[in-house]
Chains A and B, each alone.
Chain A
């Protein structure tokens, strides 16, 4: 079973619109969450991290974490064509020797149409 599940698999939004991406973990050991973004032909790049319950805002990007349900979301306000990319949710644990490793979801492909 995939320990980090993302939805939807793909998403299309108009330029200037709001994009909402979801991620759920099935492993209670996962307490730290990251969002990574990968443009075509490049390696993934960290977008933001969220470790505490609630919202975290960075510019047009807002992440929300609910640790009780192990659900994290990413909302992109005023979406731009340059936001078109593959978005990964990743999670890590809080204790033990393996807590430095990340487990990634399968990704959500976002297309922003101008």
Chain B
């Protein structure tokens, strides 16, 4: 089964702080995604990528940067974290048109 890992699993930072969330997949999938999950909003797509060096804008990109360094690794960067970015973040990977495999999530708290 597809394996997607995320680190850290929990993170607490202060307003204005820098945060990097990491995601690795080991299944040679071309596509990788970053979502945030908030009560009342479901899953919302932040950024996605279809290969190393590629970045596509999602539905809620403001305040987030992302970088895909290799086929396996996808990073989400919050350069000036705000309390509104307190959320549960998921990374996923897939082939085109296929099932997305999700990681276990990172819970981020911005104080």
Q: Is the CB of B104 within 8 A of A42?
A: yes
Q: Is the CB of B104 within 8 A of A43?
A: yes
Q: Is the CB of A98 within 8 A of B56?
A: yes
Which residues of B in the span 31-85 have a Cβ within 8 Å of any Cβ on A? Answer: 31, 33, 35, 40-45, 48, 50, 56, 58-59
Please give the number of chain A residues whose Cβ is less than 8 angstroms from any Cβ of chain B in the complex.
22
Q: Is A45 an interface residue (CB 8 A)?
A: yes
Interface of chain A: mostly helix, strand, loop or mixed: mixed
Identity of the chain A residue whose Cβ is nearest the Cβ of B31 in the assembled complex? A100
Chain B hits for A45, CB < 8 A: 102
Report the tally of A-B residue pairs with Cβ distances under 8 A: 51
User: Chain B interface: which of A12-20, A58-66, A102-110?
Assistant: A102-110
Please give the number of chain B residues whose Cβ is less than 8 angstroms from any Cβ of chain A in the complex.
27
Which residues of A in the span 4-56 have a Cβ within 8 Å of any Cβ on B? Answer: 32, 34, 42-46, 49
Q: Which of A32, A46, A103 contacts B45 (CB 8 A)?
A: A103
Give B46 Cβ to nearest chain A Cβ, in Å.
11
Q: Is B100 an interface residue (CB 8 A)?
A: yes
Apart from the given pairs A99-B97, A104-B42, 17 other A-B contacts in the complex at a CB distance below 8 Å: A34-B99, A42-B104, A43-B4, A43-B90, A43-B104, A45-B102, A46-B99, A46-B101, A92-B97, A98-B56, A100-B31, A100-B48, A101-B33, A101-B45, A101-B48, A104-B43, A105-B42
List the interface of chain A (C-beta within 8 A of B): 32, 34, 42-46, 49, 88, 90, 92, 97-107
